[in-house]
Structures are given as structure tokens and as C-alpha cells.
Chain A
């Protein structure tokens, strides 16, 4: 038990269980759906995971600070439409400028959220529920009920989702997946090693203590919302390249999918716990279910949302019932180790302190 305790942390156990569930789900679908294991499924799931996971990374940052961002779907939809229109009007916009435009617009929208939540002291639910509606309104008003058509977009945008970094047989490893993996790796490192990342955890697990310790809490929460918006903008751009045709309903439902991904991936709704890797695994499970249920003939694809809701509830319930016990068990174990050999523990204290 002690060996196990030293090697794994509760979050890692949870992630391992999640990997197991994903494998089991794939095996189950394989027995139920004819011709399930093929390259197209992998490609489709990996592309849609790429979009969900990028948003889920931003959502994780916000979750860590004990907040929620319900407006991500609207931000992604708006940026997809706006950048799509600009590209359709002027095909010569260089790719870098288009991506930067998407990220920039998303960041500004996220800053509006962050301003109200961090400095206006309005609960995030209220702010992002309102901006969910507001940003969608902006999109509808701006669009004039027109659709961005794939035919109007420059060639490179249409070709982008099919660009591969490399392929193994028919399994394509696409550029979008690569971008997503870079984002995930980057933010995993930020959360783990940069002071900013550690402060996100600190603020979420005990806001009062973080304030007394002198952390600029408001600025950190503000930045978290800004980053969430920027990543949603990036996801909006990926949405545009993936579908080509963008209507006013683009991105609806991404807020729920991303929250599902984050919660299933082990982020606590009480803040202060969760990892980006977990969010990636959560996004994988959510998108796997989504893409597989469509092909499962005996079961109506409309079950998807009902199942998604149950999945979130289940994840939160295990978090409350099992994970909190595991965490306190680990914390107690560490205290015992420290008191047993104080000299040895002295050096380890820093390492252990972020578990509790």
C-alpha cells in the first residue's frame, strides 16, 4: 500500500482508470458495431477530440480557480464565423494572420468574462450564462442569417484538416491533432512548473489563503478566463477548417462537451484539482461515445445527450465520494511518513505539499 501510495497520486489513478474505461468502451463498441475498427473512425474521433480538447484545456484553467466558463461554445462559434467571413472576403489573408485573428478575438471575449468575474465580483455562472447569449447574439446580428460557404474559402483552409503530419497505414496523424497535442503539452508544463500554474491551484483550493499569501488573485482569475477565451478562439478556427460551412449555430454544445470532458477527466468543481492530461482523456471519452453512438444501429443516436449527462453526474459523484477520500488518505499517509522520519521528510515536503 505504501509503495503504491508513493508511486501514484489520486489524480494519476483516476487517469489510469479513465484510460481503462476508454479501452473497455472501444472493445464494447467493437463487439456491437460491424466494421468498427477502421481508420476512418480513428481519423474522425481524433479530429473532433482535437477541437474539444483545446477548449477543455482552457476550461481546466478556469475550473482550477473554482469558476466555470459557459460561453466557450459561443466564442468558438463567433470566431469561426467571423474569421470565415474575413477569409471569404479576402482570400489573400496569410494563414498566420487568420489564426492570430481567431485567437485574438477569443482572447478579447475571454477578457470581458474575466473582467466581470475577477474585478466585478460577479459569479462566473451569471457572467458566462449572459455572455453565452450575448456572443451568440453578436454572431446572429453580424451574420445577417447568411452562411459561410466552403467554396468561398481559400484552398489552404479547406485542405488543412486533411493535412497529415505522418500516417501509419491508413491511420492519419493530422496537423490539427498535432496542434492540440502541443497545446496540451504546453499547458501541462505551465500548470506543473510555472508559478502561474501553481497559483491557479492555490487560488482554487483555498481562495482566502491565497489572498492572504498575497497572490494577485484577481489578475490570475482574469488571465485564466482570457486564456480560456483565446483557446476557444483557436478551437473556433479549427471548427472553421473542419467543416468549411459555418452557420449561426456553430459551436453550440461545445460548452457542455468541454465541461463534461474536464469533469470526467478529474477536475474538481470545487477548484484546485485537475490536470490538462485528464481533460484530454475526458475529451477522448466524450467524443468517442459521440462518434460511436451515431453508428450503433440498435440505439438511437439521440441517446447521446442523455448518456453525456449521466456521465458528468457519475464523474462528479465519484469525485465527491471516492476521490476526496483517496486524497485525504494520501494526505494522511504523507503526514505519517513525515513524522516517522523527519529528516528525510524535510526534503520531500515540497514535493508532497501539492497533493493535499
Chain B
């Protein structure tokens, strides 16, 4: 009995954190959606909601690492497109799909290494480097396919993207959960994860403490390129066809989900748990908007506003707190309550 106030207070503290806030929003969205459309809560719809955005949320996981590390990778969507278009181009020339998949992945890895080289070793800002490669990789994808679209992949490949593999889960979803587990362990429970945070907090301090900053950034960008390529290939398998402009503009959704998850855009803070919650929020929100017959562009607009709000809200809270504490220190007799 005596413990209950403390327990309650702890629960209240947790609710006041960003993750708690996200949880409340998620519940509100789920309730509204559930009331509005009865289909919403069916297993089929819940599974569908994941599958429609599965490629994006796979990339979100690795983007979380990058942004906590105080960098950004704008080229992920272009890398997705590049890998998929390479696959299509090779397939058209009679290369077996297995080999083409490997080449696509390798190209993603190379793209990541290329980004990482400029950011980690030359020391250029990642925003500019990846903005340039956003254009460059998309350009390469266009060089491969020009304005054609390539389809007619072997049946097993399409099935891999479209049909459930184990139970009701398709391959992409399994890959997502595996990567999610890896991300949680790596970021929250390993030395590697601590380094990611430390560098994101203060790069110089990390360097002087003997953290291999350059190597770690290189690893992160390489992973980002490789996983984006993997996501692009899964996207190709799900759609059953590739085009030069596929995955264009995905970086907006991906970065929104990471930032909404409480990861500071300046690096150094955030967690996979928060990002997982924000993934669920964005997916359910999009699903709800689709059920309410909002157009895709309208949804993008809502996501864009969400992105601004998710950074604005903490800023405002800090500002209000600062004002309140200033007022409190000015009139101490008022704050006895």
C-alpha cells in the first residue's frame, strides 16, 4: 500500500517522457480508427498495414543509428531505387536473379562506402554528401532503365515478395523483425551502441576518449547503403516490376518516423523503442487516412506537418519550462504548493 504513490508517480514520470506521449497518441489513433472503420482491427488489415510500408520501416531502423550519430543519410531512397533498377537491368540481360540480387546488394554497399568515405574521412557534412548522392544514385538508376519499366521476374522471386513465407508472415516482415531485434540489442545493450551515442553527443570528446570515430561512421554509412539496397530489392519483389523513379521521396517518411520517435536531429539521444512506437503511429495514421479515403498526397502533407510538429513540440516544452522556472525563481513564495 505504501508503495503505491511512488509507483503511481513513476508511471506518471514515464508517461511524461516522449515515449509515453507517443504511446498515448498511438492508443488514441487506434481507438479512433477502430471506431471509424470496423475492418481496421482485423488481422488482415493489421498485416497489410505493415506490408505496405515494410521497405521504409526497414530503412528506418538503420536511419535511427545514423541520426543518433548526428549524421543524416538522404540518399537511402535513391539507393533503394538504384539496387532495384540494377536488378531489373541485369535480369533483362539474362543474368540469373540470384546473381543479380547479389550485385544489387553489392552496389548498395559500395554506395554506402562512397558516402561514408566523404563523410568520415574527408570530413564533409553528411547532409551535402548524401544530397549529392541522392541525385547521383537516382541518376544512375535512370541511366540503367531510362524511362522503361521492367517486370516478368521469375515466379519464385515475386512470390518471395508477395506471398507469406512462414505462417502469415512474408519474407520482408521476418527480415524487419530480425533487424529490429538486432537494432535493439546493438543500440541499447552493446558497447557499439554506446559509441554511437557518445559520438552523436560530442564528436570531439569521443575522439579524444579513443573512440574510433571515422571507422564507426564508415560502418554506419556502409550498413545504411546495404540495408537500403536490401529494402529496394524487397520492394522490387513486392511490386513485381521496377522503374527508374521507384522509392522516390521515401526519405521524407523515413526521417519523419525517426525524428517523431524522439531521436534528436542533433544526435546523441533517442531509442529504438521510441522509433518503434513512431513507426506504429505513422503506419496506423496512414492506414486510418486511407480508410477515410484521403488521397496519397494529402497523407504526405499530414506526414510533413507531423515532422515539423514533432521537432517543434519538444522545443516549445523546453521554452515553457524555462519561462516557468524563471517565474518561479523570481517569486519563491508563490511556489509552496
Contact = CB atoms under 8 A, between A and B. Distances in A.
Q: Do A and B come from one complex?
A: yes
Interface of A: 68, 116, 120-123, 125-127, 129-134, 136-138, 140-141, 256, 259-260, 263, 269-270, 300, 302-310, 312-313, 316-317, 320-321
Given A123-B311, A125-B72, A133-B252, A302 B146 contact: yes
Given A126-B308, A141-B297, A309 B136 contact: yes
Interface stretch (B29-37, B185-193, B299-307): B299-307
B146 A127 contact: no
Interface in B119-145: 122-125, 127-129, 131-140, 142-143
Interface in B286-309: 295, 297-298, 300-301, 303-305, 307-308
Nearest to B143: A302
20 contacts: A120-B315, A122-B308, A122-B315, A125-B265, A130-B304, A130-B305, A133-B252, A133-B301, A136-B300, A137-B297, A137-B300, A140-B297, A269-B125, A302-B244, A303-B143, A306-B142, A308-B135, A309-B135, A317-B124, A320-B124
Contacts of B315: 120-122
Given A130-B304, A260-B135, A310-B132, 13 more contacts: A122-B315, A125-B127, A126-B308, A129-B304, A134-B304, A270-B125, A300-B143, A306-B143, A307-B139, A309-B135, A312-B132, A317-B122, A320-B122
Contacts of B146: 300, 302
Interface of B: 72, 118, 122-125, 127-129, 131-140, 142-143, 146, 244, 249, 251-252, 255-256, 259, 265-266, 295, 297-298, 300-301, 303-305, 307-308, 311-312, 315-316
Q: Which of B118, B128, B307 has the most CB of A within 10 A?
A: B128
A122 B311 CA distance: 6
**The 6 nearest A-B residue pairs measured at CB:** A309-B136, A305-B139, A306-B139, A137-B301, A312-B132, A309-B135
Given A116-B312, A122-B312, A130 B307 contact: yes
Contacts of B72: 125
Contact of B298 (A68, A141, A260, A270): A141
Contacts of B125: 269-270, 316
A140 B300 CA distance: 11
A302 B265 CA distance: 34
A68 B140 CA distance: 25
A127 B308 contact: yes
B123 A320 contact: yes
Nearest to B312: A120
A309 B137 contact: yes
A187 to B, nearest CB: 23
Contacts of A309: 132-137, 139
B114 to A, nearest CB: 9
A308 B132 CA distance: 8
Contacts of A136: 297, 300
Nearest to A311: B132
B236 to A, nearest CB: 19
A158 to B, nearest CB: 29
Contact of A313 (B118, B143, B305): B118
Contacts of B266: 123
B323 to A, nearest CB: 15
Nearest to B311: A122
Q: Which of B129, B256, B303, B308 has the most CB of A within 10 A?
A: B308
A324 B140 CA distance: 31
A123 B249 CA distance: 19
B307 A305 contact: no
Nearest to A138: B301
A320 B142 CA distance: 30
A69 to B, nearest CB: 12
Nearest to A305: B139
A136 B297 CA distance: 8
A15 to B, nearest CB: 20
A307 B129 CA distance: 14
A118 to B, nearest CB: 12
Given A137-B300, A313-B118, A305 B135 contact: yes
Given A125-B72, A129-B255, A302-B146, A313 B304 contact: no
A263 B135 contact: no
B131 A130 contact: no
Contacts of A305: 135-136, 138-139, 142
A124 to B, nearest CB: 10
